[in-house]
Amino acid sequence: ELSLSQLGVKQVDLMLIHWPGKDKATRQAQWLALETWARQGKARAIGISHYCKYHLQEVLEVATLPIALNQNQYHVGMGHDTQPRLHDKAYMEESGVLYMAYSSLCGPCPPPDNQALINGELVTSIGAGHNKSGAQVALRWVVQQGIPVIPKSSNPLHQRSNFELFDFELSDKEMEQLTAATTPAETGTPAAPDDAQDCAAEERSVPIEFS
């Protein structure tokens, strides 16, 4: 209600749970509360953010409305085979949940990683061949995987640059180079689950039945 009041609207297009609760019961209760809110016509779609694979599995046990998307950090440096987020992304897709990327330029990363996807050698060298900036290459790498990105900027020139991602295409070799990058790494960690295991190390499987 506060969010609607602050925005001055009666309905939003999308409302997300920003962070998973501290335990399974809380996470399921959060989702069911959001479903109630959506049924009241206050959101056209609802989703989650910062959820890893088994957080989603727990929500799917009780969900009766579609989970529109899961918003997670994803950028060049996180695409290689050993990166747990890559496996989370695959599971989201299998479950019919859109995977949305935030911090795709690694803005929250500590120096010098916070500049690696803007003026780093890998992205700028690839960008030179397309007359594009390093940032555009980093964002295009995400978009070319079919993943929506939401880069933030208050600078009109940067905003325009962020839109100019659809008039070029990275080659298979360039995509492979960017996917193989191991830096910059993911910054921060998801909320600690009730069993004190980090999401990145979580491998257990919760059986889910889909109708």
Task: Identify the structural domains of the chain with CATH numbers, from first to last.
Answer: 1-67 (no CATH), 71-187 (3.20.20.100)
C-alpha torsion angle, residues 6, 23, 52, 69 (rounded to 10): -40
Res 200: pLDDT: 53
Res 8: pLDDT: 95
Res 178: pLDDT: 97
> Is the peptide bond preceding residue 190 cis, with omega within 30 degrees of 0?
no
Res 188: pLDDT: 65
The pair phi, psi for residue 14, each rounded to 5°, is: -150, 135
Distance CA 115, CA 191 (A): 26
Low-confidence residues in the chain, pLDDT < 70: 84, 188-211
Distance CA 15, CA 6 (A): 14
pTM: 0.84
Res 54: pLDDT: 86
